[in-house]
């Protein structure tokens, strides 16, 4: 029996030394890790299923959804919205006045602007009218939306075409910069 006790004593000591060696040998220097993993072009923060409300005096004015949002802080404060973007613009009475959708967008917090591209649509819920284009800009400061690109506006009365458009974010009224095609007037 004394032989078995001696074996257990001798086995316990080396195992303890090995475990202690593992615990104290795994020290990582933070600067070394950053040198290996730091990428200045990488986003500062990545968010999935982003939902942000912009409010004024406690009332929702704009609501932004994005499947993926990547935030950058240099050279400007920018958030890239990927894999689908949806923006709801609210009226003064708190109802959704218009909805903007696209596949990609960028919010520039420094300038107070947003641009969206790829399959862009702006829909006015009250008038049942839809604008379609490939790129659109929104200026948060004056609530204006514009594009220099080709535009199609569809409503219950027909279809209008143009190159470039200016409107407010509720899409209640708009101005083509260069309209073209046949336009039926008066009903």
pLDDT score at 74:
78
152 touches 133 (CB < 8 A): yes
- Residues 32 and 101 both lie in one domain: no
Alpha-carbon gap, residue 161 to 167, rounded angstroms: 15
How many structural domains are present in the chain? 2
pLDDT score at 183:
60
Looking at the domain assignment, is residue 185 inside a domain?
no
Which residues of the chain are under the pLDDT cut of 70?
A: 1-40, 182-187
- Residues 54 and 112 both lie in one domain: yes
pLDDT score at 31:
66
Looking at the domain assignment, is residue 186 inside a domain?
no
Q: Please report, for residues 32, 35, 55, 92, 111, the alpha-carbon distance to residue 58 in angstroms, rounded to integers and kept in the order given.
A: 46, 44, 6, 12, 23
- Residues 79 and 27 both lie in one domain: no
SS3 state of residue 149: strand
- Residues 7 and 49 both lie in one domain: no
Alpha-carbon gap, residue 50 to 47, rounded angstroms: 6
Domain that holds residue 143: 42-180
pLDDT tens-digit series, residues 23-78: 665 556 666 655 556 666 778 899 999 999 888 877 778 999 999 999 998 788 99
pTM: predicted TM-score of the whole model, two decimal places:
0.74
């Amino acid at each position: 029996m004394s032989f078995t006790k001696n074996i257990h004593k001798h086995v316990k000591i080396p195992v303890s030394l090995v475990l202690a060696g593992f615990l104290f040998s795994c020290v990582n220097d933070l600067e070394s890790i950053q040198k290996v993993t730091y990428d200045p072009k990488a986003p500062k923060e990545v968010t999935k299923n982003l939902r942000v409300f912009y409010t004024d005096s406690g009332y929702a004015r704009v609501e932004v959804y994005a499947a993926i949002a990547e935030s950058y802080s240099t050279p400007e404060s920018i958030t890239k919205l990927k894999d689908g973007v949806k923006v709801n613009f609210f009226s003064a009475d708190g109802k959704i006045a218009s909805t903007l959708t696209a596949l990609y967008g960028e919010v520039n917090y420094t300038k107070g602007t947003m641009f969206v591209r790829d399959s862009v649509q702006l829909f006015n819920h009250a008038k049942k009218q839809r604008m379609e284009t490939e790129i659109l800009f929104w200026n948060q400061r004056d609530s204006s939306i514009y594009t220099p690109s080709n535009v199609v506006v569809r409503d219950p009365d027909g279809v209008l075409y143009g190159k470039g458009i200016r409107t407010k974010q509720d899409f209640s009224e708009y101005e083509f910069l260069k309209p073209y095609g046949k336009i039926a007037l008066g009903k």
